[in-house]
Amino acid sequence: MTASDPIAYDLRRARVLLALAERRHWRGDADAALRDYRRSAAADPGWAPPWFGIGLVHKERGEWPQALQANRAALERRDAHEGAAWNLGIAATALRDWSAAREAWQRFGMDVAPGEGEPDLHCGRAPVRLDPHGRGEVVWCDRLDPARARIRNVPLPDSGHRYADIVLNDGAPNGTRRSGDREYSVFDALELWQASPYATFEAWIETPDPGSLDALVERAHRDDGQAEDWTGSVRHLCRACSLGDPDAGHDHPPLDEDADGHGARWIGLAARDEAGARAMLDDWLHAHPAARLLQFRLALAAGAAD
């Protein structure tokens, strides 16, 4: 192919540049990848894949206006590009551009009514991986729509997240978790979309009957809060199992129940303030006189209220 056939030359050049961009993107050189995606788009202005690649880079960087613009450009060139439609929806949700988000989910084939406000889709429950490039804690969430999920666990304090935080989540499944007989896809969190008004408190409780902690969970729910026995529920997974199905691999035992030397349970509490958290504990301790509170503290302050 030569410059004497300029159209064919440009088409071939666009594909070579796209392959180069994808290789650099996969290797983590986002700046070089973005440059070559743009060069590919310039060589073949009617081709959608380079614009999708540009949108991917901006999505990974959290550069939402640019991501929205690039995925729109991809869809203008290929109306049925599902990946671009999904990433348009994520970018629009990040920007709270609800008309664009509704358009994106419609393009993806969802039954979404037109309108200006937040779409009321309720996509069920799903596990979401917080900080996917760090410790990667996975929590259960209620999916408000394809790109947003409200946390229903009490995340560990070092995650930086709280019960009822709403996170922006990616659309590509990345591993699985099981609940009962059902397997659920895990989605990676991209960023905090709306901070929860709940704070996270932690308590060390010594009790001869760990099963009695179910009553503490029920007490927390009375105040629209949450309680979780981190000692019995938290497992530190290897990366391979975290990104796959941890129940299908080797064992990952829960935290050591005797880690503090007293057989105490490490409890996470979600409450709007310290008085609310202490009321939960006091009521539970009053009903279970054989239990003792060894330690109590604020672990993560509340976010901004709505």
Six-digit token string for 266: 């490490």
Given a cut of 70, the residues of the chain with pLDDT beneath it are 1-4, 233-262, 304-306
pLDDT at position 214: 95
pLDDT at position 139: 96
pLDDT at position 261: 43
The residue ranges of every structural domain in the chain are 6-107, 125-194, 199-300
CATH placement of domain 6-107: 1.25.40.10
Residue 95, strand partner residues: none
Separation of alpha carbons 145 and 124, rounded Å: 9
Query: Which residues, in sequence order, are CB contacts of 153 under 8 Å at separation 6+?
Result: 139, 140, 163, 226, 228
- How does pLDDT run across 45-58, given as a tens digit for each residue? 999 999 999 999 99
- How does pLDDT run across 204-250, given as a tens digit for each residue? 999 999 999 999 999 999 999 999 999 976 554 444 455 555 555 55
Select 199-300's CATH number: 3.30.70, 3.30.420, 3.30.300, 1.10.3470.
3.30.70
Separation of alpha carbons 44 and 52, rounded Å: 14
Query: Collapsing DSSP states into helix, strand and coil, what is residue 167?
Result: strand
pTM as predicted: 0.87
Separation of alpha carbons 74 and 288, rounded Å: 61
pLDDT at position 216: 97
Buried residues in 202-222 as b, exposed as e (16+ CB within 10 A): bbbbebeeeeebeebbebbee
Query: Collapsing DSSP states into helix, strand and coil, what is residue 111?
Result: coil
Whether the Cβ atoms of residue 144 and residue 151 lie closer than 8 Å to each other: no
pLDDT at position 183: 94
